[in-house]
Structures are given as C-alpha cells and as structure tokens.
C-alpha cells in the first residue's frame, strides 16, 4: 500500500479524497498543485453489479507510472498523461470484466494444467526465476498490496479467461498483410517513435585502485602497446578493472544518458577507430576508444529495425481496434451494464 501510494502521489501527483469525506459525499476544492480524482466509496466502475475498486485501478496503472514524469514536458502535460493512463487502465479493467462475463456465459473452462502453466509464467515474469527469491518477492507483493494468495490466483484466472475470449476478437488481424503504403503512412504519423539520439559504440579501459601516478604509468604503457598494434580489446581484457573487462571493455552503443557526460563528449570527439589519451577522473583513469558513431536523426523507413517496429506497432493498433469493437458489440448484444464512478 505504501509503495503504491508513494508512486501515485510522488510520481503522478494523483490524490484521492480522504475516506471520511468520501463516505459523507463531501467534495473538497481542487488543489492548484495536482489533479484530484474524487470517487464514491473507493469504486472506480461497476460491470453487471460487480465493482472495480480504486485499488485495482491503481495496480493496473502502476507499470506505466514511473515513465510518465520523464515523458511530461510540464505539469499540465503530466496531468494529461495521468488522465490518459487512468482512462486506459480503467478501460482495460472494464474490458477484462466483460470478457470474463462472456467466458462464464459460454460455460468455458480452463484446464488445471493450463492455469498452472500460466501462473508459473506470471510468477517468473513478475517475481523472478522459481526459487526462494521468487517466493520472497511474491509474499512481499501480497503484503504490500493487501492481497491473499487466493485473490492473486483469482486475478490470474480472470486475466487468462479474458485473454482466451479476447483472442477471438483479433485472431484474423495477425494474418492480415500490411501494405507498404499503410506502413509508410503510419511511419510518417509517428516519426518521434523512430527518433535516434546521438549514440557512440565504444570500448573503455578503466584503471582504479592505485595512486594517480601509478595509474598514469600503467596507462602510458597501455597507450604504447596500442601504438605498436596490440588490439584495444586484448588490452582491456588484460588491464581493465571494471565489470566489462572480460568483454574487452565493450560498452556497445551508448547515448549521453548512459555514460558520464565528460566521457561521452570525449567519445563523440574521437573518430571511429581512434582512442583517447589517459583521462584521470577521481580515483579512476580511463582510456576511451570510439568504434562507430550514429548522429542524432529520424531512422529511415527502410531500416530493418524500423520495419520490425512498424509491423509490431501497427498490428498492436489493429488488435486494439478489433478488440474495442468486439467489446462494444458484446456489451450491446448481451446488454451488459457498465457504470463509471470516476
């Protein structure tokens, strides 16, 4: 509870009215600092008389919370993202309840073996590999969220039942061939998805632990060997004292946010295949080698990774549209009543 509350309050400035005020139906004046969501008795919505609680809504929102502050350009944008995230999370929960209702009316049943396999997959994804640490993480989750094992099991059952019924809504989508013009139109409408920051492919030799003079002597010896043609990779394996020494100091492709700004700027200033002189920073000495550079740019349409991302995002969009249509039809045909409280 405290962890969820911290995320909601600190990351999103999302506040709920006090329980006493909710029970009495008292609405406070909105604060200038943050968006306020007032609810009735802690209920977010009802589907066929079965409630979706605010706690369930918070839990569904939680995976998206940490990234919203980084996405927001200002407080107003943050409020917009909060409202959008809340709406999407509530729509997901309502859709799930509708699909579960349909599953039950169909008289369908999930075999025990199938349910057990799904549970193990979820436990592995959410709490790590099977073993003592997974059990510890799982019980910590139950305690912090005020859940029981039976409640968690019920949650997984509903997720699986909903996915079984919902699958029928977009079975045909993945078999649909996406035309080049459709892909190109989606690409042009979503160029920011394909923005690539300035990045550098680099290797590092990191020397630490000795005095500055001793590190400098060793760095000079390494630089002499580089001049003589010894590979940077071999020298990193032999001399570097950081976690990537066994990989020849290979840091792969990095952007400014993934590396100290002074070292990143140094790497950018080097030409591909060029290495730096010894750089002394605090208790460490660095030798930087730039293997390649990518400028800041929008990745081209015909890039292999762009094509893969385009197909994934467009198929996902089509699946959501297909499922939304199915949910609307399901609600109309079976006259399932949904009442929103937010």
Compute CA distances 51 → 29, 48, 101, 146, whole Å: 27, 8, 13, 17
What residue segments make up the domains of the chain, in order of their start? Answer: 2-105, 198-295
Looking at residue 301, what DSSP letter applies? Answer: T
pTM (predicted TM-score): 0.56
Structure tokens that stand for 51 in this block: 């409630």
CATH class of 198-295: alpha beta
Is the pLDDT reported for residue 246 higher than 70? yes
Of 7-16, 105-114, 197-206, 230-239, the poorest mean pLDDT is in: 7-16
Is the pLDDT reported for residue 37 higher than 50? no
Average pLDDT over every residue of 267-280 = 94
Average pLDDT over every residue of 127-143 = 92
Name the E strands within the chain.
15-16, 36-37, 43-47, 50-53, 195-196, 199-208, 250-255, 274-275, 279-281, 284-294, 297-298, 338-340
pLDDT at position 5: 34
Counting residues of the chain whose pLDDT is more than 90, the rounded percentage is 40
Q: How far apart are CA 233 and CA 311, in angstroms?
A: 37
Give 175's pLDDT tier (boundaries 50, 70, 90).
low
Is the pLDDT reported for residue 25 higher than 80? no
Structure tokens that stand for 32 in this block: 């200038």
Give 28's pLDDT tier (boundaries 50, 70, 90).
very low
């Amino acid at each position: 509870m405290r962890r969820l509350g911290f995320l909601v309050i600190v990351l999103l400035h999302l506040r709920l009215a006090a329980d006493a005020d909710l029970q009495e139906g008292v609405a406070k004046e909105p604060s200038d600092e943050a968006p306020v969501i007032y609810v009735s008795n802690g209920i977010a919505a009802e589907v066929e008389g079965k409630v979706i609680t605010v706690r369930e809504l918070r839990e569904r929102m939680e995976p998206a919370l940490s990234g919203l502050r980084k996405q927001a350009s200002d407080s107003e944008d943050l409020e917009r993202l909060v409202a959008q995230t809340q709406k999407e999370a509530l729509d997901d929960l309502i859709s799930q309840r509708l699909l579960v209702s349909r599953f039950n009316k169909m008289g369908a049943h999930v075999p025990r073996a199938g349910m057990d396999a799904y549970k193990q997959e979820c436990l592995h994804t959410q709490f790590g590999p099977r073993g003592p640490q997974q059990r510890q993480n799982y019980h910590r989750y139950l305690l912090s969220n005020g859940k029981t094992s039976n409640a968690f099991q019920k949650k997984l059952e509903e997720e699986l039942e909903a996915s079984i019924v919902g699958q029928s809504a977009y079975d045909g989508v993945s078999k649909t061939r996406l035309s080049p013009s459709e892909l190109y139109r989606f690409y042009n409408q979503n160029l920011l998805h394909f923005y690539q920051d300035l990045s550098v492919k680099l290797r590092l030799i990191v020397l630490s632990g000795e005095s500055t003079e001793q590190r400098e002597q060793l760095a000079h010896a390494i630089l002499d060997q580089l001049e003589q043609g010894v590979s940077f990779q071999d020298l990193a394996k032999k001399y570097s004292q950081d976690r990537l020494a066994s990989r020849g100091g290979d840091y792969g492709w990095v952007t400014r946010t993934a590396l100290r700004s002074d070292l990143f700027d140094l790497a950018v200033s080097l030409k591909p295949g060029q290495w730096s002189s010894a750089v002394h920073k605090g208790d460490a000495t660095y030798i930087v080698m730039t293997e390649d550079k990518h400028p800041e740019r929008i990745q081209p349409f015909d890039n292999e990774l762009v094509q893969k991302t385009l197909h994934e995002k467009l198929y996902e969009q089509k699946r959501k549209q297909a499922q939304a249509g199915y949910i609307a039809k399901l609600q109309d045909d079976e006259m399932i009543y949904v009442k929103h409280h937010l």
